[in-house]
Structure 1
């Protein structure tokens, strides 16, 4: 204590304030636990939300925001419309269109592990005819085996989406690997990686258009001759600087006679919306974190009140030796803040660690917003100050003679 000012120095104040915590470490740790849990919840929720958004945005950047999807919409009568067979070729002639691929959903065909599976157990799997450049347009790759080529596209050969392969219990490719598709055996050539831009592909068994016409009867009459049936989905890669312009022309180009029967979408918009909605449930978990902080604050306040009652002799002795009411008040207020800040720091570290572990398991960039950890520390300081204010005032108002009676 300074002889001239009668005030405690900052270091002395911290040392005196920490006496109560160091004397009762288990009690202090349990009191700080609620604050640590609440702070960890807040930091973890905000960190995981930000990391998830960063991961989705990175996925969008990798896949490219320049893919557009053209699908058959609804006719004026309310039924399902069909795209013209010539739609892919028409779209390919548009300016600023880089690549065009397409698939055709065959609703009457199903795929099974073997012919012994009941027909009703489809598992939601679909059969689609696919153009040979589909992986290039979707920017997906073959995880195992190979993709279709000019030869296998004409034969009973299929490539499975990731979900379809998992459902069928196929995790590797060998020469005798077969599936029961459309009432006959098809050899399995490969398994695709998941395609975030077109998740329906993951649930599908993909065959070539010639094989679909020859083995599955997917045909339509054109000028009295049988031709491969029309596509149901067309995937368009446009020049990145002209996506909006190409999008505005797709419906009329795909079906000039009935453009209102064509649905045009941008799959990356779905991922962008998902990134924006990644924090939709944050408020619920943040609320739980706030509740934990309130419980922690009540615990700190309770411990500080008990501490004042237990240390009346110490308070009386310090007052008798010349300590002012302000010094007593500052001591217990600082002790409460130290207790809360200790819990806040532990909570921030725990929340950051949880974010790093989970984001790492998902191959996301670890993003912990500044407002998450700084808000956690600031909240801890405010909680400590509010929780310790009443006990500190009570301690400072205790007369030395009353306090010393317990000595």
Structure 2
């Protein structure tokens, strides 16, 4: 090879040909931040437009979500997933449900909880000196231990029937039953209160909180299933079944319940219809969405236009800088990357600030309203991703325009 030819290919007598310099990520980021550092107020105002849009997106997503969650919790307290099964009234001879009816219902796939009570046809009195026929309008029910989860009940004082007490002469009083018997609470450490049922004295071990969905239980005295069989001559046939099922399958479960508990004549069994609260809950879940999301998108669009306008003006104002960098060897890709990076950084900064601001505002509003705070992760991700996307789209044309400027065109202006 001719060394003179090699030297001719390299400037200043060098032996290596010139190669374009490749900028690292750090260099591209430093150049992209140059315009932001030198024009701080304009950068802040541009990022502000994006942050307002993202904050709006988070707010209009989180506030309806929190409100919907609060409404769903209120409707869930109305028992939209609860069904009640009992024989049709005034049947002669009376319909007797099988003792294992609750277990048969539990085998239905969507059913999550089951329990049962049975009328013992006994009378409870305040004392044995009262009229034997004066039952105070109260019903003595044999109850399974899993009754409270199936009806959404809670113990106000004392405790409920369990494995150790369901076979003993012990009772739990409904809220109204406790009031009529003059036993508003069960105080630990005090002498236990007893009430006569039939020929046996039963110890009161608990009082239930009000249950508006099952007022019949409020007026009931609950005896353990085994204790009712032992002390009250209970025959083991339940009179009412309670169950919970998945809300999406509640109608299907209701359709097969009668045939499940009394297959010989399903028409003699009454199944309560799903609560109207279920319809309201489903409607509430689809009410807040499209309109609010559309408003948020408009806000983001306005912010993106602001960034695009800022970047376009920045290109016009910095033509001499572009020309000088081109004259010193910067290629079009490097110029385009500089301005595109600046646009993305502006939008990303605005998106992060907007996400934080929107989350704080939504949390504060939810706490003020007494709602559970719920900020969908999709809203946070959409805000950040949307700001980056807007930065790319808003900076694309100004970046390409800057890259197309030749050194002579840029320096001549």
Q: What TM-score bracket applies, with the shorter chain setting the length?
A: 0.5 to 0.7
1:95-145 deviation digits (Å, cap 9, x = unpaired)? 21624699xxxxxxxxxxxxxxxxxxxxxxxxxx99799x9574356999x
Q: Residues 273 and 61 (structure 1 numbering): CA distance in 2 closer, same or farther, change over 3 Å?
A: closer
Larger Rg: 2
| Structure 2 equivalent of residue 15 of structure 1 | 30
Q: Residues 316 and 66 (structure 1 numbering): CA distance in 2 closer, same or farther, change over 3 Å?
A: closer
- The CA deviation at 1:286 is 0.9
The answer as to 2:112 corresponding to 1:95 is: no
Per the normalisation by structure 1, the TM-score is 0.55
| Structure 1 equivalent of residue 320 of structure 2 | 313
- The CA deviation at 1:93 is 7.1
Query: Counterparts of 1:28-177 in structure 2 under 5 Å?
Result: 28-47=43-62, 67-69=82-84, 84=89, 95-96=101-102, 98-99=115-116, 138-139=151-152, 148-150=175-177, 152-153=179-180
1:172-225 deviation digits (Å, cap 9, x = unpaired)? xxxxxxxxxxxxxxxxxxxx8896xx5xx9xx9x9969xxxxxxxxxxxxxxxx
Per the normalisation by structure 2, the TM-score is 0.54
Query: Counterparts of 1:297-336 in structure 2 under 5 Å?
Result: 297-336=304-343
Q: How many residues align?
A: 303
SS in 1 for 2:101: coil
For residue 237 of structure 1, the aligned residue among 234, 242, 249 is 242
Consecutive unaligned residues of structure 1, counting only runs of 5 or more, are: 72-82, 103-128, 156-191, 210-233
SS in 2 for 1:297: helix
| Structure 2 equivalent of residue 227 of structure 1 | none
State how far apart, in whole Å, the 2-side matches of 1:130 and 1:288 are.
57
| Structure 1 equivalent of residue 403 of structure 2 | 396
Q: Is the 8 A contact 2:258 2:269 kept in 1?
A: no
Query: Counterparts of 1:364-383 in structure 2 under 5 Å?
Result: 364=372, 366=374, 368-369=376-377, 371-383=378-390
| Structure 2 equivalent of residue 285 of structure 1 | 292
| Structure 2 equivalent of residue 386 of structure 1 | 393
Q: Residues 48 and 93 (structure 1 numbering): CA distance in 2 closer, same or farther, change over 3 Å?
A: farther
Q: Residues 359 and 253 (structure 1 numbering): CA distance in 2 closer, same or farther, change over 3 Å?
A: same
1:246-273 deviation digits (Å, cap 9, x = unpaired)? 764459999x999699673234x94597
State how far apart, in whole Å, the 2-side matches of 1:321 and 1:366 are.
54
Q: Residues 252 and 86 (structure 1 numbering): CA distance in 2 closer, same or farther, change over 3 Å?
A: farther
State how far apart, in whole Å, the 2-side matches of 1:326 and 1:393 are.
9
SS in 2 for 1:326: helix
State how far apart, in whole Å, the 1-side matches of 2:306 and 2:118 are.
63
State how far apart, in whole Å, the 2-side matches of 1:300 and 1:48 are.
27
State how far apart, in whole Å, the 1-side matches of 2:335 and 2:96 are.
85
- The CA deviation at 1:49 is 5.9
Query: Counterparts of 1:162-201 in structure 2 under 5 Å?
Result: 198=213
- The CA deviation at 1:355 is 4.7
| Structure 2 equivalent of residue 170 of structure 1 | none
| Structure 1 equivalent of residue 274 of structure 2 | 266
Q: Is the 8 A contact 2:75 2:277 kept in 1?
A: no
State how far apart, in whole Å, the 1-side matches of 2:353 and 2:241 are.
51
Higher mean C-alpha deviation, range 312-321 or range 55-64: 55-64
| Structure 2 equivalent of residue 114 of structure 1 | none
- The CA deviation at 1:13 is 1.1
State how far apart, in whole Å, the 2-side matches of 1:6 and 1:15 are.
16
